[in-house]
Structures are given as structure tokens and as C-alpha cells.
Structure 1
Amino acid sequence: MKRSFSFSDINRLIDDYRKAEQRQREISEVGEYESEVRKAAVRYVDSEAMAMMEDIAVEELNRDKKGIRVKALRDHGYNNYADILTARDYDLSAVRGISEDTAYKIMKCVEDVYGQAKESVRLKLNADDRSVSATRIVTALSRYHEACKLASDCEGLDDKYRESISRDMDDIKPATGLFRWLFSSGTRKQRAEDAYQSLTETIQGEYGLQLGKLSDRRRNLKFYSESDAWDDFQKQPVKYNNTVEKLVPGLLDNGDSMYGLPKELAGKIQDEDFFPDGLRCELRRYQELGVKYILHQGRVLLGDEMGLGKTVQAIASMVSLRNTGSTHFVVVCPASVMINWCREIERFSLLSVIKVHGTTKQAAIREWLDKGGVAVTTYETTSAFSLPDDFRFGMLVVDEAHYIKNPSARRSVSVKKLSEHADRMLFMTGTPIENNVDEMIRLISILQPKIARKVSNIKALSFASQFREKIAPVYYRRKREDVLTELPELVESREWCRLGKVEREAYEQAVLKKSYNDARRVSWSVDDLKYSSKAGRMMEIIADAKADGRKVIVFSYFRDTISKISEMLGSQCTEPINGSVTPAKRQEIIDGFDKAPAGQVLVSQIVAGGTGLNIQSASVVIICEPQLKPSIESQAISRAYRMGQARNVLVYRLLASNTVDERVTDLLEEKQTVFDAFADKSVAAQKVEVDRKTFGNIIQEEIDRINGERKSKVKA
């Protein structure tokens, strides 16, 4: 049989593949980038610790009256501990009055303090504070992430071609030498011929092309820009912080990997399986631990502080249960956050959602029983659930669980009856209920009666470690300072509200009249705010803030809205700030607000109070309606989210679903996405805002929708 190749052709081809294998191994190796992150972390710690040393005056050496001549040290340029650290023993002993023995003691003292400082350093990444050491870490993390992505892509390429290449390499062996070829059968020679053609096409074709691109990307990693790294960090800070926790344990947190759980219980929970397939977000380490706690303990009360993601932990728990066979779940929550729950479930998971509320509740329950998914309902509607005696569902989630603290209340009875069908129960509340031990015990008694009976006898020790250890199997609470030492300092959320009948009528009337301002004041335009769903949600947020020791700023574009809110809050709020308030008066109002207790509210027109004021004493910001220029919102938020702010700032945007709020929000999001896509190409001429003409188009769309719905009702 005549060959279409020479033996040297075969050997070159095999050599090309061996080189390709080597390139694959190099691309799949991420160890050097792990090492780069760790080295950057060490340099960050050294830099931060040295900065602390610069703040310690040399006079501190004599704090214990050791008789060290610190004046002589200062006269020789040793002003602080950092100066001493960079010196040598014989440099110090050269100072008049400092012996060799004293120099050694000084150096030992300062090095001990430096060591303690390094142990205390915690990483705080902030895109507004791009120090050299922080930039080095962010860049190293970006390179590591890209290296991992390349390794994953390379593995995918290998999976695609491994079987065919392995077969070809085996079939081509008879063609690797003259004697092998001569003593091979015709069939093996034909297979070798086919393998040569196939392997050539593979290496010179798509496989080789893709491998070449991966190699180029790998080489370009060393040129990864710092600005690109920071941009990527801002898009996915959770990923960066999770990577730090993985590669440099302890750099972000206080070293308590179990966040306060007793050792024996912590070990069991750590070993609990969690199956996240279908979860559309990345959990922080403390959140994953919370999910494992929920899954392992079965019936628990999660009391994490505001802003730590209790909702996401609940969703992740349901996702994991769904992956292990559960099909039905129920979420019970206040009516004001029902829409928010539905949106969060759809946003963060692949779970289906069914609203059980209003006149269609019975049909919704039947649909849920038939199809499964998450039934989201209100406390009042739980009484409508009449389930078969033998019916079981995976988990009952009860948000704001303190709503059922009174066991004889109608809603408490209904929720408890519904819970009898649940395999697992998760109560949630951000309110520190340990401040009211009787209330806590009543909730625990629904979840785990045995534990409730045990702790009832030691209520007087409610703040002692003995009490906390006994309730640990059922009550778990983390504080922000314990789990978010690295930030984020700004936690933003959209609070979707469902309009009631009175609000809906007022809104539709404004839209049909093309009254732009009244339409934008959706939910706030009612004469009495007791009919306002946004006002109801705002009051809940303010109550939670007060319980959490926080103060609140409420912003609205409209003076009328601010006046109504001020009247409703009464003494709980300051004098409102609007455009007619003089700068001096504004500062007087803010000074009074700064001195006020937790729960106090400052209300302001966003264009009046959104610039030029420092309001660090507030850490909760409520924005009453979406602004047509998002930059106005950013400026307003920055009044509280600025240097000197001691707490994470929580921003709540009050939005009404199926109104101009939703249209404006979606449109601005689309504009921002387009802007971001071109930002790297310096197309800065685009402005992210909704102008009057565009808003007019939104109003017209709403008019068409409202008229269409009304015609449909008439026909029905």
C-alpha cells in the first residue's frame, strides 16, 4: 500500500501534538497565579502594618516607664515605630544614651508590636481607595480568575478532542517506523493513513486554532492592566472576596470560620452537603455556612442583621432541596414584600414562583399543588391553605417571623397549621429578638419545643454564653462587623410594592390625564398615606432600622411627597429639607439629626439635600421613586456613603410594579448596559437618563395598556 506521508512527516506530526499537550499543561496550571495572590496578600499585610507603625510615636516606648531616652531617638530622626523597624541594632546603639542592650530591647519591643499589627490586618478592598498594595492584590486576583477561566476552557477543549486524538495516536503507531510499517496488516496501514489525515486536520484545524488563542491569552496575562482589574472587581466583588477567603484564609475575617457556632455543632454543619445547581448567584462563605445550617438543623430561626442576605440564603436552601428531590415550597411574608420575594426567587434561581394572594388564591394553590415550585403568600392568606392530610412540602420559609410572636393571633395559628405539612421550617428576622427573650422563646417553641423548654428555665441568663450555646441549634445570628470586614459598605436593594385599589385608581387617573409629575408620584399621590403601599414598606424599613440602631434619610424629588411623609412621621422625623431652606438652616437640621437617637428620620427633597451635605450619622437611605437622572440618586446616596461613615450603608429604592416606576427602571438599566458596553471605547457622549420626550413615550404606553385592560374587563 502506497503511503501519502513519510515517516519524518509522522514524527513531526507526533512532535507537534506533544508540544500541544505541553501547552495544554501550561495553560491548565494556575499555581503560579495562586502564589502571586498570596505574595500580594503578604505585601498588603506588611504595608498596612507598617502604616500602623508610622502612627505610633516613639514616645510609646516609655509607656511602661522603661527609662528609654526617647528624646535622643527623636533627635536622631526616629520619630515613630516605622523608623525604628527600618533601622539596624547598631544604628540605634550609635545614639548617645542608647546601649547595645537597650537597642536590642527597643527593637524587640517594636518587632513584637509589628507582629501583632500584622495579625490584626484585614483586607478592605474598595474601588475608591486604590492603594498600591490593594491594587497589587486586585490585579493578582484578576489574573488568577482569568488563569482559572483559561484552565477551564482548556479542559473543555481537551474533553472535546481527547477521545479522537487518543484513537488517532494509537492508530498511527504502525507509521512511526519502517519495520513497523512493513509488518503491519493492510487494515492497520489503512487505519494509520486515516489517522494521519484526521490528526493533521485536528492539529492544524479548530483544535490547534483554539489552543493557539488560549496560549495567546495566557501570555497576555502578564500584561493585565490595573484599571481592567479594578473594573472587574466592581462588577463582581463577591467573587474576589470569596477567592481571598479560599487562597488566604483569615485575611478578610476575624478568624472565626464558624461565626460563633459551638465547635461540635459547627463540625457537623460544615460537613453538610449543599447542592447549588440552579442558583444564579455566588454565595459568600458565611452565606453558604448559613445554608448548611438551615439544611442540617431543619427547623431554625435565622436572625442575621439587615443587609447580610437572608433572602438569598433561603433561596439557596430551597435550590439545594430541589436538587435532592423536594418539589414544593412555601414562603410566608408581609404583603409589602411579596413582590420582592417573587422577583428575588426568579432573579437568583431557576425555581418557579406562584403568587398566592387575592381573589385568585384558591386557583393559585391548586396550580402549586399540581405543578410544584415556590408558593409566595402573605400571613393573612395562609388560612386559605387547606391541604390534604398526607401532603408534605420541602420547606416553609417565614419572613419577618416576629409577626407571629403572639401564639393566639389568627395569623400565628394559620402559619402553625401550615407548618404541620412542612419537612423543614426557616423563620427569618433581622430584628435582634434576643432583646426580648420571651418573644424569642415563643418563636423557638414553634420550631424546636424541647430547646424552648430548656431555655425557659434560664431566661435570666439570656446574654450569657450558656444560654447562647443552648439556642445555637435553632437560632443563628451574624453581625455585619463579623462577616463583612472586607466590605461591601454599600448594599442596594429594590423594594417592589403592589398597588392597592385606591393607589391604582389615583395612578391611572394621573396617567390618562398625562400629568407627568402625578404619574411619577405613584403611591404617594393618595390623599391618605395609609393607602400607600410604598409608605407601608417605608415604615417597616424605618422600624427595622430603629431596632438595628440606625438612622434613616428619606429622599424624594417631590416636595409634596416629603411634606406628606413628614406629617405622617411626626416627631420621629426632622424638619424637612427642601429648596427654600437656607444652607444655614439645613446644617442646623442636620446637626440636630446627628444628635438624635436611633430610628430618627431626615426627610429631604433629593435635589435640595442630595448635594453639599455630610450625613454620616445615617446608614439607611430610602429613595421614594426612581429618578430620571441616576446621577441625582448617586449624589444623594453619597451624603451618607462617604468618608467617616462607620456602618454599611443600606439603600432601599421603593418601586411600584406595573407602573412607570418599572418602565423607567428597566429603561435606565438598558441604557446603562449599552453605556457600559461602549465605555472601554471611550464613547462617553451617551447619557444615562430619561428625557422628557422618552418619559412621554412611557406615559403613552401606559395609557395604551390601561385602556386595553379596561376594554378587556368590559368585554368579560
Structure 2
Amino acid sequence: MSGQTKSATRARGNRRPRRTRRLDNEGIIPVLARAVREIEAEAQRGRVSPSARTRFQVVALLVREERNRVKADAETTETQRAEQLKRLDGVATILAKTAARDTSLLALLAEDAEVSDAARTLRRKMIEAAGLEVEDEPEQAAPEGDAVATVPERRVIPQSVIARQLAHPFQVPDFAGAAMRLEPKTHRLANWELIGPLLRSFELANGAPACLEMPDPRDRRTRDGLEMMRHQAQLVASVKEGHRTFLLADEPGLGKTAQALLAAQAADAFPLLVVVPNVVKTNWAREAVRWVPRHKATVIHGDGHDIDGFADIVIVNYEVLDRHVGWLGDLGFKGMVVDEAHFIKNRKSQRSQHVLGLADRIRERTVRPLMMALTGTPLINDIEDFTSIWQFLGWIDEKRPLSELMARLEETGLTPEDKAFYPSARRAVVDMGIVRRRKVDVAADIPARRIADIPVELDDEAGRSIRAAERELARRLVERYDRVMAARDEDKRVPGIDEELVRRVAEWERDETDDNASGENVFSMIRRIGTAKAPLAADYAAQLARSVGKVVVFAKHVDVMDACEELFAQRGIGYSSIRGNQTPKAREAAIDSFVNDPEVEIVVCSLTAAGVGLNLQVASNVVLAELSWTDAEQTQAIDRVHRIGQEEPVTAWRIIAAQTIDTRIAELIDSKAGLAARALDGSDEEVTASADIQVEAMVTLLTEALRKRRR
């Protein structure tokens, strides 16, 4: 028997009722038609719920399967085949119209879209409802590039880590809370499938807040004298009272990084492992110095040859986690923080497997470690994605709630058959440690307008080239300084560094740059830095858009704007653009689409063309992809959002290239802003002097180079 004949025979055997079907209301197509009209009706009423999204994906999968089956069925006449394909096209048309209303549904139609356990269960039920036998699903391969590797991975162990292991060869497990691992005394819910009902409980929330009740803080001062905002101090107080697992879902701008570090200090959860996106790992190290200065932080770059193996806080980005997962699991961490935790939503991905594996190994050594998942993504969207986060926190495994959550569910005295089970189950999950605050909820605690710096590492070839160019510019300035000093008489030479001459050399360089733009200078370096930062700035803006909605991105140069927009296009993020070469009509259309179209999440603006005369207060988050040369220009950009009528505190996220002149320029802008403010308040200081940031930047370069030479 040929392979084709065998395949046809097997299909007929598994779906025998199709042979005798004569009525239009039999088989799978009527089931699909009813389901798709329910989805369409929900889409017409507004936002599509997670359960409807699951139905949408399952209907699309079954339409695809049925179309292939109909085309391959040799027993079907041409007339019957045409009729069935026509009906399937009708279902597909409704799917397309629904996806046009909610374009996020399009991702569920992709060939490599993840099919959840809930979707597989629903598929089985729909096939059974059609009176068909259910075939076992074939084993699906994990998506390419994100799959769990079957080949040996390249693992490294930095020498400083080996030194730490040799210094502490015996790491005693903590048995102090062993009783916490015991199963609940009753097993009333033991035979119930509970993960689905738990997810369902969040769908039925009807706007109820998802936030753990936390104690009022007695003291808002940190151990080192810094003052926390009230909402930050509440979480730290909860840790002091013994809480150890948190899904911290505060909106961006509310200090989740500081809360996580201070929670680790309150729980004495050191050494602490922090897993973060690449764009924010430098910021984590800086925040650690600020909030927990008694605990040294080290950042893993590449193979980690330069890390401090004895540090209390180890920061690693997702992209290099696979190289270090071996020794990280053996270091004896007492706590773990996962930043932008929605990155691990796909439990089958390699990075998710590594994160979940590390979490399990930490729990094997320490009974009640501090485990924190940080994400600004609202909990009501795609709640199924959060099952992997619940697993990381130790609330569930792949199939059921674990002991602590199960005990809370048992205490309700209810089962999923009871309507009252759902609000009680949701409360039980929230009380495990879900914390969600919005900026508008804590507006009294935070400034109405603030600037938050996000330092990023340029550790690629572009970064190395930029640092080499800075060294070359510094060398040229030193050479000119030395020529002038050598030409002076001995009695006119100033001991040490002649600060007046340093400034004159910087001014000469600036004037020559204005006259002749050829060669490497401070302007060309800043442009190169902006281009190198562009993908990181765009990535951060994309994360913000996913978390809080509309975001405004400002840049000085066209190539930086182009790079940002290219990344948004690749990720399917809707954006508009405001540039200097636009006609008034095109400019108005771009503004209108950002303000009024919910699918346009980001507007990319030119600092010079869009810095004045615009009202973009539909957003409350601004990303400054490049630095301006004056505080006034920067303020004008932020004020496109921070305007009369803005109901939320505004945060401007300034992307700064660490270990480059970018850092010094940001400091100069801030210092000159303070000078200008004092002058406007009646000081005798000269305001106009604050504008010459270019000269000040070169003064800094030359002074630092001269100091290094003197050492």
C-alpha cells in the first residue's frame, strides 16, 4: 500500500463520521462557525479577552487542518469539496475581520505561534463536539533560535568564581523552614485541574485591583539614610514581616529596581542573582551603588573574565545567561530577581528554561529565598503568559499549584464548580505576592516631572571605535596644550594644570570645528554615540510601550530616527514620525495618528523639528535617545508631554552611553540647568554661559588626560 493511500486510510479511520455526513449542521465546520461568531461579537464590543484569543487561535488552527483534509479527501466529490471550502472561507473571512479590529490577534496566526495547553484542550473539545475522534497531536518542535539546545552549550567559569568556590568549599543548606515544603493537610482539590480556573479567575476580575495588602511603613529611611517613597517602603516593610515572593508589576518610573535591591537587603538575601535585559544591566549596577552601597555588585559581560566572584550582587543579561548557568546554579544564591519577567513567558524557550532551572536550584539550597519577578506589563493582558512567572516564583509547577498556594485554595472550602471560587482563588494568588501600582495611584509620592537616566554599555565594535576616537581627540588637545606651554617663558608657566589654558585650548578646538567640519571632533563623536545607542534606545521604548502604552521618542539626527523606526517596524509596533522635512499636512497626520489611533504606540520626533509647538500629552513617558546640547532644548522636548491637562506624572528616560563623553555631557546639562534656574531666581550668575556645553565637554576630556599623565 502506498504512503499516500495509508495516510488517507488513517485519516478516514480517525474521522469516520465524515463518511456519512450529509447535513450542513454536522461535522467540524458548524462548530467553527459558532465559535468564530462568538469571537466576532466580543471584538465588536471592545477588547478581546484572553479566553477569546485562545478560541481565535484554535479556530484558525482547525480551519487550516480542515482545509488540508478536505483537499486531500479522495472520497469527496468536486461539488462537495467546493462547498466545504466555501464554508471554510467564510469562517476565515470572519477571522480576518476580527483580526483587523484587534491586530494583536495576527501574531496568533503565525506558523511559529506558541500553542498553549489551554488551546490544546479547547481544540480537543471542539473536535469532540463535532462528533469526531481526536488524533494525538504530533510532538511540536520548539521555535528555531529560541529552542532548548540539544547540542552541548558553551559554558564558562570565570577564575574569580573558582576562587570563591575554593574559599567556601562547604555550603550548608538551610533547613530552617523545611516545614514550608509539606503538602496541605487536606486534599479536597487534589484531583481538580486548577491552573485553568486560576487563569480564569483573573479574566473575571471586572477591574478589581491586583495588589497585595502591605503594611504601612514605620520608617521610610534606608539603612544608609536615603528616603524611600511610601509605596517603595511598603514593599520593604512586607519583606521585613516575612514575605518572600513578589510579582512586582509597578508601572515604569516607580522604582522597581530600588525596591528589589532594598528588599534583598531587608531579607539578607545575599548573594543575590539578578537577570536583566542587556539595555538595563549597567543601570542595575549604578542603582546598587546608590541604594545598597554596603553590598558590591558585579556585572557579567561576555564570558565574565572581569567579574568579581566575591560580590554580593551578580547581574547577568538574558543573552549570555546560557554560558554561565552552570556556575550560577552552584554559587549559593539566597535570592533571585528577574527583570522584565515577561521575557520568560514562553516556558519552552531556552532562556526560560535556564531561569526556571536556576530558580529551582536556589530553592533546593535555601528554603525561603527572596524571589522577585519585575515587569511593568499589566496583569490583565495575556494572563496565560504569567504562568511561567508563577512557576519561577514557586507558586505552581507545569501542572498544578504547589504547597503554599494549594493550602490557600484549600482554605477557601470551594471548588471550581462554585462561582465564589473564582474571586477567592484570585485573591489567593494575589496574596502570594502580586504588587501592582500605577503612577496615577501614587502621584502624591513622585514628582510631576522627572528625568531618569538609563546608562547603557556600548560593548560592540562601534563602542570600541567611539572610545578610540575620544582618546584621539584627547591626544590632540593635549598636544596643542603642550605646544603652547613649551612656547611660554619659564616664569609664565603655571605649576600643575593651567585651567585657563585648558579652556582656551577647548575653545580653539570648538572654533576650528565650526570652521572645518572634517576629521574627528566632539560633534561627530556625539553623532556616532547616538547612532550606536539607537537600537538600545528603541528597545527600551518598545518595552515601555508594551508596559504603559504610548511613548514619545526624541532624537537629534535623522539616522538615529531611522534606526529606531526600523526596529519598531521589525517588531510590528505601530509608530508615526515627526521630522523637519515634512509638509504641514504630513506633520498633522503624524500627530493625529499618534494621538487618536490606538495601534500607533510610539511617535519618533526630531529634537529640533518637534521640540516646540506640539501637544503630545496622550503619553506620559518620553525617551531621549540622544542628548541635546542645552537643558532648554531638552526641557522643550519633555514639555511636549508635560503640559496643562496632563493627568499623570511625566518621566523622561534619558539613554546615556556609559564610559563615554556622553556621561559627562549629561552631567554638564544638569549642572547648567541648576545654574540657569538660580539665575532666573535672581542670582548674578551669567545664564548665557550655561549654553556652551561643547567647550565644557572638551575641557573635561583635556583635564582628565592631563591628570592621567601626571600620575
What's the TM-score, normalizing by structure 2? Answer: 0.54
1:303 aligns with 2:268: no
Identify if the C-alpha distance between structure 1 residues 284 and 524 changes in structure 2 by more than 3 Å, giving closer, same or farther.
closer
Equivalent position amino acid for 2:354 in 1: S
Structure 1: how far apart are the matches of 2:467 and 2:223? 38
Instruction: Determine if the alignment matches structure 1 residue 357 to structure 2 residue 300.
Output: yes
Give the 5 Å matches for 1:426-575.
Answer: 426-449=372-395, 452=401, 465-472=423-430, 473-484=432-443, 488-508=447-467, 511=470, 512=472, 513-525=519-531, 532-548=532-548, 550-570=549-569, 572=573, 574=575
Counterpart-to-counterpart distance in 1, 2:417 and 2:320? 34
Structure 1 unaligned regions, length at least 5? 1-258, 526-531, 709-716
Distance of aligned partners of 1:598 and 1:313 in 2 relative to their CA distance in 1, 3 Å threshold: farther
Matches within 5 A, 1:55-74: none
State the partner residue of 1:636: 637
Shift, 1:552, TM fit: 1.8
Secondary structure of the corresponding residue to residue 554 of structure 2: strand
Change (3 A) 1:280 1:522: farther
Residue number among 338, 352, 355 corresponding to 2:281 in the alignment? 338
Q: CA deviation at 1:494?
A: 0.8
- Alpha carbons of 1:555 and 1:460: their partners in 2 closer, same or farther (altered >3 Å)? farther
How far apart in 1 are the matches of 2:279 and 2:453? 12
Structure in which a larger fraction of residues adopt helix: 1
The RMSD of aligned alpha carbons is: 3.8
Give 1:367's match in structure 2, choosing from 307, 310, 315: 310
CA offsets, 1:246-265, max 9 Å, x none? xxxxxxxxxxxxx9689xx8
Deviations 1:237-280 (A, max 9, x none): xxxxxxxxxxxxxxxxxxxxxx9689xx84xx528998954345
1:230-269 matched pairs, under 5 angstroms: 266=213, 269=214
Deviation at 1:306, TM superposition (A): 1.9
Alpha-carbon deviations, 1:272-326, whole Å to 9, x = none?
998954345322222211223345221221111222221121122123234xxx5
**Distance in 1 (alpha carbons) for counterparts of 2:418 and 2:305:** 46
**Corresponding position: 1:290 with 2:235:** yes
Q: AA paired with 1:278? A: R
Q: Give the Å deviation of 1:466.
A: 2.8
1:656 aligns with 2:657: yes
Query: 1:395 & 1:634 partners in 2: Cα distance?
Result: 40
Q: In 1, are the aligned partners of 2:573 and 2:601 still within 8 Å (CA)?
A: yes
Cα deviation per residue 1:368-412 (whole Å; 9 max; x = unaligned)?
Answer: 3xxxx2222223444425459886433211111122223333323
Supply the distance in 2 between the matched residues of 1:468 and 1:497 (Cα, whole angstroms): 38
Give a deviation string over 1:322-381, Cα, whole Å, max 9, x none.
4xxx5422221111100011111112332333323135625625233xxxx222222344
Q: Which residue of 1 aligns with 2:336?
A: 396
| 1:623-702 equivalent positions in 2, closer than 5 A | 623-672=624-673, 682-687=683-688, 688-698=690-700
Q: Percent identity?
A: 25
Q: Distance in 1 between matches of 2:328 and 2:557?
A: 51
Superposed CA offset, 1:202-230 (max 9, x none): xxxxxxxxxxxxxxxxxxxxxxxxxxxxx
Instruction: Please say if residues 318 and 395 of structure 1, whose CA atoms lie closer than 8 Å, have aligned partners that are also in contact.
Output: yes
- Is the alpha carbon distance of 1:272 and 1:334 closer, same or farther for their aligned partners in structure 2, counting shifts above 3 Å? same
Q: Does the aligned pair in 1 maintain the 2:220–2:233 contact within 8 Å?
A: no
| Alignment-mate amino acid for residue 451 of structure 2 | E
CA contact (8 A) 1:543 1:599 kept: no
Give SS of 1:339's match.
helix
Deviation, structure 1 residue 584: 4.8
Deviations 1:502-528 (Å, cap 9, x if unpaired)? Answer: 221442465444233331124443xxx
The letter for the 1-side match of 2:429 is: I
SS in 2 for 1:351: coil
Structural mapping, 1:4-15, within 5 Å: none
**Does the 8 A contact of 2:356 with 2:391 survive in 1?**
no
Q: CA deviation at 1:663?
A: 1.5
Query: Are 2:621 and 2:651, in contact at CA under 8 Å, matched by a contact in 1?
Result: yes
What secondary structure is seen at the aligned counterpart in 2 of 1:361? coil
Report deviation, 1:672.
Answer: 4.5
C-alpha distance in structure 2 between counterparts of 1:462 and 1:431, whole Å: 27
Matches within 5 A, 1:100-119: none
CA drift at 1:609: 0.3
> Hey, what's the Cα distance between the residues in 1 that align with 2:534 and 2:320?
21
Q: What amino acid is aligned across from residue 620 of structure 2 in structure 1?
A: S
- 1:31-430 to 2 correspondences below 5 Å: 266=213, 269-270=214-215, 277-295=222-240, 296-322=242-268, 327-359=270-302, 361=304, 364=307, 366-368=309-311, 373-383=312-322, 384=324, 386-387=326-327, 392-419=332-359, 420-421=361-362, 423-430=369-376
Aligned 8 A contact 2:629 2:694 in 1: no
Query: Cα distance, 1:696 vs. partner?
Result: 3.8
| Structure with greater contact order relative to length (CA < 8 Å, sep ≥ 6) | 2
SS of the aligned residue for 1:315 comes to helix
Could you list the runs of 5+ residues in structure 2 that have no partner in the other structure?
A: 1-207, 410-414, 473-518
After TM superposition, give the deviation of residue 589 of structure 1 in Å: 2.2
| Whole-angstrom distance in 2 between the partners of 1:458 and 1:606 | 55
Task: Using structure 1 for the length normalisation, give the TM-score.
Answer: 0.54
Matched residue type, 1:474: G
Q: Conserved in 1, the CA contact under 8 Å of 2:339 and 2:373?
A: yes
- State how far apart, in whole Å, the 1-side matches of 2:601 and 2:687 are: 39
Larger CA Rg, structure 1 vs 2: 1
